[in-house]
């Protein structure tokens, strides 16, 4: 019997994602044994400061990737919105599972949608992308940093610390908390993060057998969309926790990518949109980034995070 070990963070959502991949592998291959290996990351330990001040969401990956490199686990399962632009030498992400809901979710105990919030309402999110777009489109709101796992953030909302919070819709749906979503925020108001809603599987490049076992889980259209978005982010020199969005959609054989780069204070937000043939996903993403760079995106990113 073939045994695969999946490295995963211990959060409820991370365990759901790892369990999803485990079940998919068992369905694809008779006689396979899949074990979950819980790993605590630096990002799980550092909850008192904004991620952007501690190195971004790469803090959620380092220990998982080290476990891959030293052979403690065979694969690691990630929310693609948390995955850094570059990967350690020897590792790759050959599989993107079928993408879930990419939208951001408006969650509130008192209000039905963003536009109902009164001036001065307190909105919590740790994402610089969300902060930039909220402050740009709703400058009357008081947008503050909010970290922690999904349950922690919801508890703080319920305790009255916030009038509303913004979370990824896919996470709430996967945790069977769809009832907490008051509004699926239209992408015309809030462009999703790079890879939001998609689950990716990372493994060692030289582990040919594991790569073969993983291949049936790859969803080609989701993979193309995420590839375009990540190519845009990489060409911008952005990270996974910068005021950057890139969101790809597919219509027939045409792939369209919309993107934004903005000052975290919302004083200026740049937008771009490009499209092309599905087979050129990464090139389309690069073209989107070039458009944003021509508009001045580099100055925003460099000022926010330095050279």
Among all residues, which ones are annotated catalytic?
82
- 109 vs 7: CA distance, rounded Å: 35
Q: How many CB atoms lie within 10 A of CB 76?
A: 27
Whether residue 234 contacts residue 194, with contact meaning beta carbons closer than 8 Å, is answered with no
Give me 307's structure tokens.
């050279």
- The side-by-side arrangement of strands in the sheet containing 269-277 is 244-251, 254-262, 269-277
Q: How many CB atoms lie within 10 A of CB 212?
A: 11
DSSP 9-26: -SSHHHHHHHHHHHHHHH
Give pairs for 111-116: CB < 8 Å, separation 24+. 111/163, 111/164, 111/182, 112/182, 112/183, 113/182, 113/183, 114/138, 114/164, 114/183, 114/185, 114/189
- 89 vs 138: CA distance, rounded Å: 42
Whether residue 204 contacts residue 64, with contact meaning beta carbons closer than 8 Å, is answered with no
Alpha-helical runs (H) found in the chain: 12-28, 42-45, 62-69, 128-137, 150-158, 169-174, 208-214, 220-236, 281-295, 297-305
- 3 vs 83: CA distance, rounded Å: 25
> Can you tell me whether residue 218 is helix, strand or coil?
coil
């Amino acid at each position: 019997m073939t045994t695969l070990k999946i490295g995963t963070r211990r959060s409820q959502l991370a365990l759901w994602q790892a369990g999803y991949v485990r079940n998919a592998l068992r369905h694809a291959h008779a006689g396979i044994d899949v074990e979950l290996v819980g790993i605590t990351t630096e990002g799980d330990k550092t909850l008192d400061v904004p991620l952007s001040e501690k190195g971004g969401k790469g803090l959620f990956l380092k220990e998982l990737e080290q476990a891959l490199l030293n052979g403690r686990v065979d694969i690691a399962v990630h929310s693609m919105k948390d995955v850094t632009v570059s990967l350690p030498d020897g590792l790759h992400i050959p599989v993107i599972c079928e993408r879930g809901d990419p939208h951001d979710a408006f969650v509130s105990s008192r209000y039905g949608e963003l536009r109902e919030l009164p001036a001065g309402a307190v909105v919590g999110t740790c994402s610089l992308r969300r902060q930039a777009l909220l402050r740009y489109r709703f400058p009357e709101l008081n947008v503050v940093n909010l970290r922690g796992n999904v349950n922690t953030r919801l508890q703080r909302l319920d305790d009255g610390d916030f009038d509303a919070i913004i979370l990824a819709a896919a996470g709430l749906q996967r945790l069977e908390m769809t009832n907490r979503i008051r509004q699926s925020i239209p992408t015309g108001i809030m462009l999703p993060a790079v890879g939001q809603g998609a689950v990716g599987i990372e493994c060692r490049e030289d582990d040919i057998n594991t790569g073969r076992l993983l291949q049936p889980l790859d969803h080609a259209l989701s993979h193309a969309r995420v590839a375009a978005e990540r190519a845009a982010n990489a060409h911008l020199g952005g990270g996974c926790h910068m005021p950057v969005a890139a969101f790809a959609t597919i219509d027939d054989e045409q792939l369209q990518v919309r993107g934004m780069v903005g000052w975290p204070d919302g004083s200026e937000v740049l937008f771009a949109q490009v499209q092309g043939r599905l087979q050129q996903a990464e090139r389309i993403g690069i073209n989107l980034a070039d458009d944003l760079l021509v508009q001045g995106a580099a100055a925003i990113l460099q000022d926010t995070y330095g050279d």
